[in-house]
A and B are shown apart, each in its own frame.
Chain A
Amino acid sequence: MQKYSVFTLARNAVNFHKNWDRAWRSPEPKPAYDVIIIGAGGHGLATAYYLAKEHNITNVAVLEKGWLGGGNTGRNTTIVRSNYLQDESAAIYQLAHGLYEDLSQELNFNIMFSPRGLLMLCQTEHDLRVMTRNAHANRLFGIESRMITPREIKKMVPILNTSRDVRYPVLGALYQRRGGTARHDAVAWGYARMADYRGIDIIQNCEVTDIHVSRGRVTGVTTTRGRIKAAKVAIVTAGNTTRLTDMAGLRMPIESVALQALVSEPVKPVLNVVIMAHTVHGYMSQSDKGELVIGGGTDAYNNYSQRGSFPALQQTVTALVETFPIIGRLKMLRQWAGIVDMTGDRSPIISTTDIHGLFVNCGWGTGGFKSIPGSGFVFADTIANNRPHDIAAPFSLDRFVEGRLIDESAAAGVAH
């Protein structure tokens, strides 16, 4: 593999950048693998990478029906944070956050991680109480996170409307200094390049059409490019999870809905933190190109169309215009939607199943991007050892039978 550095950059500049190696191969599928990972998004590719790196399992195929990183990994608003309420969630998001901080070096790929600070606005008294509780929980867990006053917020975000005379006045905010953003495509590309370097086959344009189960064991998959045998199959397909688990006869506690995002025309720097406003359903950051990246709440109803509804978009924008009056006259350039898989308690599922060799990693809902490295790390361990990793164990499918829910609807139900 060609190492990316300032020297290779300079050397290739001399040749007008004609001699760069391909970042990953496009191999033909082999007839059999040790592990098949369905879905080459961030979570799938991270799982593949950690399988190779931590467990030395390299006879692995990552199957992708479209192109890698083309699903929700390429559609989110790239926020990274770990200020969750419950210990189980804090553990996995904190693991992911920590891995993100060194990921550019580890993958030799600039993922443009920018820990610029993240504010979660409180715009009602109830918000203030919930977030104060959150701050205490975070501190007990060892996550640096604290409440700040409207005056401090105004200092950080001058474009914020801190007037008391609005429908939802800003009363405070939960501040995570180490929160921020990363470049979403680069995360997928970085993991793909390193996984490929370690010998893992990433097979794009290869849709799984059936999963074979024989006597309670998974035996392989049928794809649009033929049958492939494997003793272990991992489903990491976000909004399409139910379609895959249906093939294996598993029923899941998941509903797929659309989550939208949009970006404005590029403007001069006006916002150097990530702002999330739960009450009014909107969140915003400014990209390096100067575009304001805006996201909102999910659409209400089940949806597989990757098109969001206009009323949901309108609600997001309306709310943000009151909180940030300056953006009222900005033109919006692009709008898109991704299909997210929502669980009943808004926490993910990382689990073995009662089919031997079949694993699922799904239910990340609106918050999958921030957890990519942590999710891949614990899921790879789960697959390699046929038992849940300690951090993954609370997120098993069992919890829905036992009523052992990890309720993150306050932290995760709205905005990411």
Chain B
Amino acid sequence: MLLIKCPVCGVEGDETEFHYGGEAHIRRPASHDPDNVSDEDQRDYLFIRRNPRGIHFERWKCARGCGKWFNAARDTLTLEFLACYDITEPAPDLKGSHAAEPRTPRRRARS
């Protein structure tokens, strides 16, 4: 069971009091340049995920508390929360994480 602390209202609870929102820091291409969104960009936005075995930057919602979304850094192997931070903040620079890299893959999945 995960124990989570909301960085907005400060309430602490287990995972049933929060709602998981998937990977954080995903940019919606249409918000930046609506006229030039390729099918590949849209695919990356909708489906491609880092899915790391290790530190994962992800979104959570304080569902039974203040109702606000926030971001968290969690290790997907130890299930340990390493940081909880505001939704507008950039990802913290944690050892072993890949968040600081831009989201441009070396090679795209295509068949």
Residues of A within 8 A of B (CB): 240, 242-243, 245, 248-256, 300-305, 307, 309-311, 343-344, 351-355, 388, 396-398, 400-403
B contact residues around A355 at 8 Å (CB): 107
Q: Is B43 close to A, CB under 8 A?
A: yes
B contact residues around A309 at 8 Å (CB): 1-2, 15
A contact residues around B9 at 8 Å (CB): none
CB-based contact B111/A397 at 8 Å: yes
Complex-state Cα separation, A252 to B48, whole angstroms: 5
Q: Tell me whether A354 and B49 are in contact in the complex, defined as CB-CB below 8 angstroms, given that A310-B1, A401-B39 are known contacts.
A: no
CB-based contact B76/A303 at 8 Å: yes
Complex-state Cα separation, A310 to B105, whole angstroms: 36
CB-based contact B77/A305 at 8 Å: yes
Interface size class of B (residues with CB under 8 A): 35 or more
Query: 24 A-B residue contacts at CB 8 Å?
Result: A240-B53, A242-B50, A245-B109, A248-B107, A251-B48, A253-B49, A255-B51, A300-B15, A301-B15, A301-B58, A301-B74, A302-B23, A302-B58, A305-B78, A311-B1, A344-B46, A351-B111, A353-B110, A388-B111, A397-B111, A398-B111, A400-B47, A400-B109, A402-B39
**Which of A250, A251, A352, A353 has the most chain B CB within a 10 Å cutoff?**
A251
How far in angstroms is the closest Cβ of chain A from B51?
Answer: 4
How far in angstroms is the closest Cβ of chain A from B18?
Answer: 9
CB-based contact B51/A252 at 8 Å: yes
How far in angstroms is the closest Cβ of chain B from A226?
Answer: 23
CB-based contact B109/A252 at 8 Å: yes
- B93-111 interface bits toward A, Cβ cutoff 8 Å, 1 = contact, 0 = none: 0000000000001111111
Q: Which of B47, B49, B106, B111 contacts A396 (CB 8 A)?
A: B111
Complex-state Cα separation, A309 to B15, whole angstroms: 9
A contact residues around B56 at 8 Å (CB): 302
Q: Is B22 close to A, CB under 8 A?
A: yes
B contact residues around A253 at 8 Å (CB): 43, 47-49, 109
Residue of A nearest to B107 (CB): A249
Q: Which of B19, B51, B111 contacts A254 (CB 8 A)?
A: B51
B contact residues around A344 at 8 Å (CB): 46-47
How far in angstroms is the closest Cβ of chain A from B105?
Answer: 4
A contact residues around B23 at 8 Å (CB): 255, 302
A contact residues around B53 at 8 Å (CB): 240, 242-243, 256, 304
CB-based contact A242/B109 at 8 Å: no
CB-based contact A354/B107 at 8 Å: yes
A contact residues around B76 at 8 Å (CB): 256, 302-305
Q: Is B12 close to A, CB under 8 A?
A: no
Residue of A nearest to B16 (CB): A311
B contact residues around A245 at 8 Å (CB): 109
CB-based contact B105/A249 at 8 Å: yes
